[in-house]
Structure 1
């Protein structure tokens, strides 16, 4: 097993930020703020502003670190180690958050900063002189897809599940540029927030160019990426047919990574990547990056896999090699080898959307619709890649749904899904085994509030249309 670590380190390769055939995007210097009056005076400047907006996703306060890690340690499969954790994410793992904590504030404000920049692009792009209509539409479509992506993330974090109460208070819908004198937006209903996200995504599909799979820049939202976001949006609402149909469109003609590619680790984008975020030493603190917390050596290196979760993998499942017990590093808990730096500490690629997830959405939806044979086929495609020779499931009904949800855990662990999967389906929350903070409650218990973040106190203090009475339950 030590050879796996050594081989992984030796075979890592650097990858350019946003590498793709659309190389003209890379000729521009990105900016993380849209303030210059000249930004929308020509197409190249506006395009640089879009790159700057995308670049913000890699921030450690948002999708570069906080969001994906928190989305797994607020579950039962992954944890922060109980010692030598540098006090990072301990309150999140303990699910003992307060509205004043940075883990609550930072994603909220980073998200709304990104939404503000998207709004600037959306409101100004159609007035860019000398740009073609296709160029204008592409920029607007990208900005709307990015705005929808951020809003969906905020909804999943700061609002209860749609299944629990689709009319509950949700996030603020900010659909235009607001100056300092504008009225503060209040919290929208959850259904209104999902409807807004859906509208943005449907409009993005109409605006974005039609590209072949080999033409798609995986660092930007293509139509396939937007279909994938629609699949997630509909899945949260249990709109099974629409989620399935969009998942099919998202993974169509996108090959799965091979077993060998999977075992090389999620260090850089691969053939099944639909959307990816690259982050580099130049953009971010090299230690405040996803692989810094996962890779067993260098950085904070404090992510561990729960022993009861590891036991769910067959010894013939190739994904078992993502786990390692190494006495010299951690004699008690399972190290995780799924993620790592590519080439240099601080350089990494976070694969945000990939075809495997879309096949699993397809399987879940078909099972819910009673199309058991189709669900079994979609499930088996993912199982057989990791476990060659595994027989196709014969389960139906709830047993098949449970098998699919377990496969989501196995295939997507560490990629930022488990927290929302528990919430959206209102599943029991049970931590067992070597977790150093255990829980056991159901959706009917008071403790279930812990699966929803509080609204930041800083927002309540600053927003005239949100008061303490609007705070989420439990806080």
Structure 2
């Protein structure tokens, strides 16, 4: 395992030369372009290094690459309760992005350094040695990677595109950055312009990546962007950009390319740790020699002995959103988390594949997401309400216990959209969509305090003292409330279990739509160094 956290100057990307898993190699900007981009094999290595950096860069154990960004977004949402162990307290309290905490700084470097290397690949790929089909594939993957990264920026550094299409977002770079450009910087573009760039890049990748390109059956190659992945990214980005017809079309294509496959109960409960899962469209796999991204499971896995922090836990109210015959409901239950032993509502969704060797794969896209994108897009398109209802029911049916089906869906209009959004929360819990959905749908975070006395087993001694109090958990993973008992009984025989501990914004006010605390904020270093940052679009008043 390589623990190699460091600050990298803008425009200089380590890990993108010839050893895909080594963060100590020289940056491409320090080498002659003719040496780096001699042939397609070397250009392909650069792209492998780009993705290695996206998943391995960071400054602490709680900020390792894109996996940490996804966890930040779930901790900042409505349905994850953070226990008191190490990691993600500022994410849970919503002081990270706006307050320019560590995740915010990591995100900026994690995105812009790979963008610069994608730009270098695109600038050189046409003039290198190699077969044209390989050039097209690598070029397409560079475009698609850059488009994915601009989508991340657009969805985090600005409010929803339909709130203010011209609101300032972030700078767009489409050429390799020289030293002078890195020092002076480019003006920030609007959120509409950043989404347009993301979509243009993804469409270029869609056109260039051969439809018959096969990344193979090795788990460690499943991060590579093939035609199915780029179609899925176009669906996701079109949804965020409110391009309903394109979101519908690309989601339909992507889910059909995977034969509309949805996991069965056994697969769903296997730990979300295997990039070769049939429903996974895109995932990042670790090896013993390159297992740093799997460190994120020390925060996500709350049930495997040996998991370190186990702070990604469940809002008790969230469990009640599931139908009793939905097998996902049984994956949430009370118990002591594997890390600090704190009693909380646990989730068995994420489990190490091999905790001793710190191995687990990270999911980035699934067929279920395509169902939800297509359903949401259909709900916005004329004449497709019944199709949206059918898609939602098909997904819900797949999550029911054997012999049961989901209730018919009759909601229409805004009520139907709310059902689809709720299903996104349930199906994609812990997979990094919570904060993005709150921002793009202009919703508030929803958290209510949950605190109850519960019945326990215990040891009562001759002197009347009680020790070893342990909450009683029923077969369904529930606890037995003792709120109706008198204060003396509660104090002696019961313990208090809690849900959310943070139920207000950092300034003490209630959660509201479009709060500045939901946004990532342009880094202070960028504001100080980029003299042109706000030339085209003014700084948001909320940051003045």
Common topology (TM > 0.5): yes
TM-aligned CA distance change 1:49 to 1:60, over 3 Å: closer
Aligned residue number for residue 443 of structure 1:
513
**322, 341, 346: which one pairs with 2:358?**
346
1:70–1:92 contact (8 Å) kept in structure 2: yes
For normalisation by structure 2, the TM-score amounts to 0.76
Within 5 Å, give how 1:46-57 maps onto structure 2.
46-57=43-54
Aligned residue number for residue 539 of structure 2:
470
Aligned residue number for residue 348 of structure 2:
337
Within 5 Å, give how 1:181-260 maps onto structure 2.
181-182=180-181, 183-211=184-212, 218-254=222-258, 255-260=261-266
Aligned residue number for residue 19 of structure 1:
none
Q: Say which SS state the counterpart of residue 438 (structure 2) adopts.
A: helix
Instruction: Confirm whether residue 278 of structure 1 aligns to residue 278 of structure 2.
Output: no
TM-aligned CA distance change 1:158 to 1:272, over 3 Å: same
Q: Which has the higher helix share?
A: 1
TM-aligned CA distance change 1:156 to 1:134, over 3 Å: same
Deviation at 1:185, TM superposition (A): 0.8
2:212 and 2:501 map into 1 onto residues whose CA distance is 48
Instruction: Confirm whether residue 425 of structure 1 aligns to residue 425 of structure 2.
Output: no
Aligned residue number for residue 42 of structure 2:
45
Of stretches 66-75 and 393-402 in structure 1, the one that deviates more from structure 2 is 393-402
TM-aligned CA distance change 1:472 to 1:228, over 3 Å: farther
1:471 and 1:34 map into 2 onto residues whose CA distance is 35
Deviation at 1:207, TM superposition (A): 0.7
Q: Say which SS state the counterpart of residue 28 (structure 2) adopts.
A: coil
**381, 386, 390: which one pairs with 1:373?**
386
Q: How many residues align?
A: 440
Task: Give me the CA root mean square deviation.
Answer: 2.3
Deviation at 1:135, TM superposition (A): 0.8
1:234 and 1:253 map into 2 onto residues whose CA distance is 18
Of stretches 120-129 and 295-304 in structure 1, the one that deviates more from structure 2 is 295-304
Instruction: Confirm whether residue 105 of structure 1 aligns to residue 105 of structure 2.
Output: yes
TM-aligned CA distance change 1:178 to 1:29, over 3 Å: closer
For normalisation by structure 1, the TM-score amounts to 0.87
**56, 60, 76: which one pairs with 1:74?**
76
Instruction: Confirm whether residue 266 of structure 1 aligns to residue 267 of structure 2.
Output: no
Aligned residue number for residue 34 of structure 1:
28
**305, 320, 325: which one pairs with 1:316?**
325
2:167–2:540 contact (8 Å) kept in structure 1: no
Deviation at 1:39, TM superposition (A): 1.8
Alpha-carbon deviations, 1:67-108, whole Å to 9, x = none?
111111111001321x2x22x211121112355421211111
Which residues of structure 2 form unaligned runs of 5+? 1-17, 59-63, 451-498, 505-509
Deviation at 1:113, TM superposition (A): 0.7
Of stretches 247-256 and 204-213 in structure 1, the one that deviates more from structure 2 is 204-213
1:239 and 1:80 map into 2 onto residues whose CA distance is 35
Deviation at 1:331, TM superposition (A): 5.8
Deviation at 1:34, TM superposition (A): 2.7
Deviation at 1:403, TM superposition (A): 1.2
TM-aligned CA distance change 1:283 to 1:185, over 3 Å: farther
2:243 and 2:534 map into 1 onto residues whose CA distance is 33
Alpha-carbon deviations, 1:402-451, whole Å to 9, x = none?
1111111110000011111111111132211321000343337xxx1111
1:406 and 1:290 map into 2 onto residues whose CA distance is 26
Q: Say which SS state the counterpart of residue 289 (structure 1) adopts.
A: helix
TM-aligned CA distance change 1:314 to 1:100, over 3 Å: closer
1:218–1:275 contact (8 Å) kept in structure 2: yes
